[in-house]
Amino acid sequence: MTDLSGPATDLFVDFLCPYAWRGVELAAVLRGQDETFRLRHFSLVEGNHAENAKTHNWSLTDQPLDAPDGDGYMKYQTPSLRAFLAATAAAKQGDDAAWAFTLALFRAHHEGKKALDDDTIAAAAEEAGLDLARFEADCRDEAALRAELKAEQDASREIGVFGTPTYVLPDGEAAYYRFENLTRDPATALEWWNIYKTVLRSDPGVATIKRAKNRPAARMS
């Protein structure tokens, strides 16, 4: 989405996902501590679509914005597509604009419980301090936005992304990191990030850590 100088950690997100929201919040804090992240998009609707179970036959970017609601993940098809296209348009105003808009939209949806609709997107654009006239013009170039989003989905499949947030480190190591807690504290964010990198690069090659079903309830933010 945004060209950055030097190595960056790619962060694949979907606005539908509360874990992705917490991952973006963590990355946003770490950006102030000499860590570099690049926002990328992965569609959970596309990734979980029944027609893509064995081979890839269904793409979110081929769907109209007036498609009727479906069942399961499909009821999120249009809101998800609308949010992705808007975020792609916002990124045309630079990396800081992309992060400001992404944070504003995630917070509106997951903290403010707002729908991913045109009103919420417009409010997020204003809160992010975007050039609104340019944003609206870029949003109207829907074909170009869909092409960029399709390239993101193609890249995510090549990497093997299956959930959000997925971090791809500059050396190519990649893993899904499910955050049950939210932090905006710099010291805590750095501690969690260092744990992630240590586990990902450790000699045992830990692939899955999943808490037992009857574990004590985690703090949820």
What is the per-residue pLDDT across 130-167, written as a single tens digit (0 to 9) for each? 999 999 999 999 999 999 999 999 999 999 999 999 99
> How many domains are contained in the chain?
1
Give me the domain span that covers residue 40: 9-201
Place of tokens 């791809």: 168
In a domain, 213, yes or no: no
Over range 62-91, report the average pLDDT. Answer: 90
In a domain, 217, yes or no: no
Cα angle 93, 97, 98; round to 5 = 95
Q: Judge whether 2 lies within some domain.
A: no
> Residue 215: how many CB atoms within 10 A of its CB?
8
Cα 29 from Cα 190, distance rounded (Å):
8
List beta partners, residue 38: 10
- Assess if residue 218 is contained within a domain: no
Residue 95, Cα to own-chain centre: how many angstroms? 14
- Please give the mean pLDDT across all residues of the chain: 91
Could you tell me if residue 54 is inside a domain? Answer: yes
What pLDDT digit, counting tens, does each position of 6-57 carry?
Answer: 689 999 999 999 999 999 999 999 998 889 999 999 999 999 999 999 999 9
The residues near 41 (Cβ < 8 Å, ≥ 6 apart) are 1, 12, 13, 14, 84, 87, 88, 149, 152, 153, 156
> How confident is residue 2, by pLDDT bands cut at 50, 70 and 90?
very low
What pTM was computed for the model? Answer: 0.90
Is 82 within 8 Å of 116 (Cβ atoms)? yes
Q: Given strand 174-176, what is the order of strands in its sheet?
A: 37-41, 9-13, 166-168, 174-176
**CA pseudo-torsion sign 34, 178, 38, 124:** negative
DSSP per-residue codes, 118-137: HHHHHHHHHHTT--HHHHHH
221 in Cβ contact with 181 (< 8 Å): yes
Q: What is the pLDDT of residue 200?
A: 85
Domain membership of residue 207 (yes or no) is: no
Taking the C-alpha atoms of residue 189 and residue 26, their distance in angstroms, rounded to an integer, is 6
Q: Which two tokens stand for residue 102?
A: 């992404």
Domain CATH code at residue 156: 3.40.30.10
